[in-house]
Amino acid sequence: MNLTFRQLRVFEAVARHLSYTRAAKELFLSQPAVSMQVKQLEENLGLPLFEQLGKKIYLTEAGREFYLYSRTIAEQLQEAEEVLAELKGAGRGHLRISVASTANYFATRLLARFSRRFPGVSFSLTVTNRETLLRQLEENECDLVIMGKPPEGADLETTGFMENPLVVIAAPDHPLVGEGQVPMERLQQEVFVVREPGSGTRIAMERFFHDQGVTLNTGMEMSSNEAIKQAVEAGLGLGIVSIHTLELELETGRLVTLDAEGFPILRHWYVVHRSGKRLLPAARAFRDFVLTEAPGLFPQGGGRGSAAAS
C-alpha cells in the first residue's frame, strides 16, 4: 500500500463532510486538488472509496472501512503534533475554540485580550448551536468549548465561570414597559418570539415556565438572538435572551428589559473539554484566562431571579 499522509488527511476531511467543497475549504485547498488526492488514493488502494448519486457523494463499503482507520491515524498525528507543541510552551500553538452563538457576544473580546497577552497563539473560532457543540466535543473536533451547562452524564470536564442572566425584552413602546414586577399571568397574555428547539436558551426558558406551571404563547421561532431582537424591536412580541446580547440595543434605546416576575433566569457559562483530553499549555492558558478575565467583562446578574442549569 503506497499512500501519503496528505492523501489520508484529504480523504478523512472529505469522508467526514461528505463534500469535496467543504473539505477543500477546511484544508485551504482547491476542489480539483482535493479530488486529485482522493483519485490517487483510490488508485493506490485499488478500490473506490466514494460513489456519487445525484449531487451527493457517499462512502462505499471500502470507504467506510478505510475511514475508521484514517480517523485513528489522524488522531495519532494530532496527538503527536500536540506533544511537540507542548514543548514550545503556552506562548505558541494553535487553538480550536467553539462557542455557543450567544457566547460569541463576549468570546471575541476574550480572544482579543488573550491574543494581546499571547501573540504567538493562533485560533480557529467556530460559532454554532448547542447540538453542534456537543457533537464537536464527542468527536474531538475542538480543544475548548464555551457554552451553557452540558447535559448530565456527558463525559466532559466543565467549569462555570460567569453568570448568564436571561431577561425579558420588549420594544420601547410596549404597554408593559415601566410596569413593576409584571406577574406571570400577565406574561401569559403576550406573544413571545423564541429560539429554536434544542437551543440552550429555549431549554432554560421552557424548564423555567414549566416549573411555574405556565404555558407561553409562542408566535415565532428564530434561529439566532439577532433575529429575535429584530422581531421584538419590530413589535412582533416579547423575547427572552441573554443580557450579554443586549449591550448595543440597551445603550441606544432600541430595546428595553421588563421587570417581570421570576426574572432574570440565572444561568451560567461553562468552559468545557472532553474528559481525559490532554490540554496543551496554550489551551490551559486560555482556559485559565477565561476563568479569571471573563467575569470582569459584564456585571454579574443580580436581583430576584430563578436558577436554570442549562
Q: Are residues 261 and 176 in the same domain?
A: yes
CB 273 within 8 A of CB 279: yes
Cα–Cα distance measured from residue 310 to residue 133, given in angstroms and rounded to the nearest whole number: 14
- How many residues in the chain? 310
Boundary of a domain, candidates 61, 86, 111: 86
Q: Are residues 223 and 253 in the same domain?
A: yes
Q: For residue 122, list its beta bridge partners.
A: 94
CB 240 within 8 A of CB 201: yes
Cα angle at 283 between 280 and 284, to 5 degrees?
Answer: 85
Instruction: Please report the pLDDT score of residue 310 as a whole number.
Output: 41
**What total number of domains does the chain contain?**
3
Instruction: Please report the pLDDT score of residue 309 as a whole number.
Output: 41
Q: Are residues 279 and 302 in the same domain?
A: yes
Q: For residue 168, list its beta bridge partners.
A: 240
Alpha carbon distance, N-terminus to C-terminus of the chain: 49
The whole-angstrom distance between residue 156's C-alpha and the CA centroid of its chain comes to: 15
Cα–Cα distance measured from residue 304 to residue 265, given in angstroms and rounded to the nearest whole number: 9
Parent domain of 197: 165-265
Burial 175-202 (b: 16+ CB within 10 A, else e): ebeeeeebeeeebeebebbbbeeebbbb
Cα–Cα distance measured from residue 87 to residue 148, given in angstroms and rounded to the nearest whole number: 32
Instruction: Please report the pLDDT score of residue 303 as a whole number.
Output: 38
Boundary of a domain, candidates 86, 118, 139: 86
Residues 6+ apart with CB under 8 A from 241: 102, 166, 167, 169, 201, 225, 228, 229
Q: Are residues 127 and 81 in the same domain?
A: no
Q: Are residues 182 and 222 in the same domain?
A: yes
Instruction: Please report the pLDDT score of residue 86 as a whole number.
Output: 62
Cα angle at 56 between 55 and 57, to 5 degrees?
Answer: 130
Instruction: Please report the pLDDT score of residue 72 as a whole number.
Output: 85
Q: For residue 50, list its beta bridge partners.
A: 59
> What residues in the chain have per-residue pLDDT under 70?
1, 82-91, 298-310
Q: Are residues 281 and 144 in the same domain?
A: yes
Q: Are residues 275 and 219 in the same domain?
A: no
Residue labelled with grid coordinates 456527558: 154
Q: Are residues 241 and 183 in the same domain?
A: yes
Instruction: Please report the pLDDT score of residue 301 as a whole number.
Output: 43
Q: Are residues 179 and 256 in the same domain?
A: yes
Question: How many helices and strands (H and E) does the chain possess?
Answer: 11, 12
CATH of residue 155's domain is 3.40.190.10
The pLDDT tens digits of the residues spanning 220-247 come to 888 888 999 999 999 999 999 999 899 8
CATH of residue 48's domain is 1.10.10.10
**In the chain, % of residues over pLDDT 90:** 48
Per-residue DSSP letter, 1:
-
Q: Are residues 12 and 78 in the same domain?
A: yes
Boundary of a domain, candidates 36, 64, 86: 86
Cα–Cα distance measured from residue 22 to residue 157, given in angstroms and rounded to the nearest whole number: 30
Q: Are residues 259 and 192 in the same domain?
A: yes
Cα–Cα distance measured from residue 22 to residue 294, given in angstroms and rounded to the nearest whole number: 33
CB 164 within 8 A of CB 267: yes
Instruction: Select from 237, 282, 300 the least CA-distant residue to 88.
Output: 282
The whole-angstrom distance between residue 31's C-alpha and the CA centroid of its chain comes to: 27
Q: Are residues 108 and 75 in the same domain?
A: no
Specify the amino acid at residue 159: T
Q: What is the dihedral of CA 286, 268, 304, 202, to 10 degrees?
A: 140
CB 46 within 8 A of CB 39: no
